[in-house]
């Protein structure tokens, strides 16, 4: 049997790589296990970009975690020399009473975040690529922007290894159990059996199987990301001229998008939010069909007439949704002395990756954290509240 570790981290995507990094930085003996290769494309931590923002319409309770996450992203760049964040500004657009606008404004006012409110005329003047309707407004946040998921995961794996973590890829976990008398955990893979004092589980879309005893009714959704070459070239869509954006139309349909960050041939990325189909990691349809591309082009063309241009490519990822679309970050209720879980990020988790890693290290090593995570207690889901639709990445 392999030697015992202080902590085993199950899953080395966004959250798991962050946990491995923060645990190793504190001197813990860490084993990280991942069923795929490093920085893989099979889960939810890929696609070139994710929106980051502080005026958080999902709930003002997220804002303190976002502020810390911004600090940790800066540190990650300094410590690795990798580019992981670009703050190009962002607009949250829609009718004034839409959740996208009203919720963003509530968070901005609650936490005194710098922001501006723009009417439709001012939106068009500042950002000529955008053509909102006359009755639409936007909250503009200069500190919004994008993070690069692949670079982030690679940077965190780099620092975890530098800190002494042992990371094993292409080694799926088949089962795990706690040891009698609170003496830790045992984790089984096809290659070996490992023991540790603590287990941190960051399963992504594999949560329904690995955490069935958590009692959370996860729903896994297939989502599609699209890249289009704008009419007339990408110059008006570069980060210096074009913000990240989230637009909610009068029917409540949301799309989100990015500047062109990968040069003239890379195009600009756009996607729907909450228009996915239920799947599992084993049954997800990876092929993106022509009717899906047309629907995306039609919708984004209403706000950015020059963007649909020419379709370049598409890719799928998965959301792991909870019923209320808030996260689950906790000591496992059935194994509170040995197991910590982070899951159910419901399509809006990646911007929190660094601070979630810090929280998981706190919980695994001390059993508590100073960060506000009360909202993420799975006990809230006992009554199975109705989904709170909305949000974007």
| Rg of the chain taking only CA atoms, in angstroms | 21
Is 28 annotated in a binding site? The answer is yes
Is 351 annotated in a binding site? The answer is no
Is 103 annotated in a binding site? The answer is no
Is 10 annotated in a binding site? The answer is yes
Is 7 annotated in a binding site? The answer is yes
d(CA 172, CA 28): 22
Spatial CA neighbour of 167 closest among 371, 362, 12 = 12
Spatial CA neighbour of 141 closest among 174, 177, 103, 175 = 103
Is 346 annotated in a binding site? The answer is no
Is 265 annotated in a binding site? The answer is no
d(CA 309, CA 232): 8
Is 17 annotated in a binding site? The answer is yes
Is 18 annotated in a binding site? The answer is yes
Angle at 84 between CA 123 and CA 348, to 5 degrees: 65
Is 9 annotated in a binding site? The answer is yes
- In the chain, how many H helices and how many E strands? 8, 20
Is 93 annotated in a binding site? The answer is no
Spatial CA neighbour of 340 closest among 313, 367, 318 = 367
Is 13 annotated in a binding site? The answer is yes
Is 101 annotated in a binding site? The answer is no
Is 8 annotated in a binding site? The answer is yes
Is 1 annotated in a binding site? The answer is no
Is 332 annotated in a binding site? The answer is no
Is 275 annotated in a binding site? The answer is no
Is 16 annotated in a binding site? The answer is yes
Is 89 annotated in a binding site? The answer is no
d(CA 385, CA 374): 17
Is 20 annotated in a binding site? The answer is yes
Adjacent-strand bridge partners of 141: 90
Is 359 annotated in a binding site? The answer is no
Contact 73, 354 (CB under 8 A): yes
Is 207 annotated in a binding site? The answer is no
d(CA 107, CA 94): 16
Is 115 annotated in a binding site? The answer is no
The pair phi, psi for residue 378, each rounded to 5°, is -65, -15
Is 147 annotated in a binding site? The answer is no
Q: Which parts of the chain fold into alpha helices (H)?
A: 14-25, 63-80, 99-110, 120-126, 149-162, 207-210, 290-303, 353-366
Is 32 annotated in a binding site? The answer is yes
Tokens 């009698």 — which residue?
180
Is 61 annotated in a binding site? The answer is no
Annotated binding residues = 6-36
Annotated binding residues for FAD = 6-36
């Amino acid at each position: 049997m392999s030697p015992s570790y202080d902590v085993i981290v199950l899953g080395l995507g966004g959250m798991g790589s962050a946990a491995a990094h923060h645990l190793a930085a504190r001197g813990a003996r860490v084993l990280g296990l991942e069923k795929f290769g490093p920085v893989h494309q099979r889960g939810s931590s890929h696609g070139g970009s994710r929106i980051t923002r502080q005026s958080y319409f999902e709930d003002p309770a997220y804002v303190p975690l976002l502020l810390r996450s911004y600090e940790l992203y800066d540190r990650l760049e300094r410590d690795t020399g990798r580019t992981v964040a670009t703050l190009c500004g962002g607009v949250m657009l829609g009718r004034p009473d839409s959740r996208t606008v009203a919720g963003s404004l509530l968070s901005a006012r609650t936490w005194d975040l710098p922001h501006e409110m723009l009417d439709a005329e001012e939106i068009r003047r500042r950002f000529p690529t955008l053509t909102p309707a006359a009755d639409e407004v936007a909250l503009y946040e200069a500190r919004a922007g994008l993070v690069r998921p692949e670079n982030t995961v690679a940077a965190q794996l780099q620092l975890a290894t530098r800190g002494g973590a042992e990371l094993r890829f292409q080694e799926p976990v088949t089962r795990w159990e706690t040891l009698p008398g609170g003496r830790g955990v045992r984790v089984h893979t096809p290659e070996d059996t490992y023991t540790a004092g603590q287990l941190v589980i960051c399963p992504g879309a594999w949560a329904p199987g690995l955490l069935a005893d958590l009692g959370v009714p996860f729903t896994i959704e297939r989502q599609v990301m699209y890249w289009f070459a704008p009419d007339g070239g990408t110059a008006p869509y570069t980060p210096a001229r074009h913000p990240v954006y989230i637009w909610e139309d009068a029917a409540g349909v949301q799309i989100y998008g990015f500047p062109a960050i990968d040069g003239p041939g890379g195009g600009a990325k756009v996607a729907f939010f909450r228009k996915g189909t239920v799947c599992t990691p084993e049954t997800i349809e990876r092929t993106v069909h022509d009717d899906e591309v047309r629907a995306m082009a039609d919708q984004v063309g209403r706000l950015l007439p020059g963007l649909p241009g020419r379709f370049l490519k598409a890719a799928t990822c998965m959301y792991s949704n909870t019923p209320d679309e808030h996260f689950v970050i906790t000591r496992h209720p059935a194994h509170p002395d040995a197991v910590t879980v982070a899951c159910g990020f419901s399509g809006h988790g990646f911007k929190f990756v660094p601070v979630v890693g810090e929280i998981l290290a706190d919980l695994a090593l001390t059993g508590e954290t100073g960060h506000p995570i009360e909202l993420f207690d799975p006990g809230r889901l006992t009554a199975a509240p109705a989904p709170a639709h909305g949000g974007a990445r």
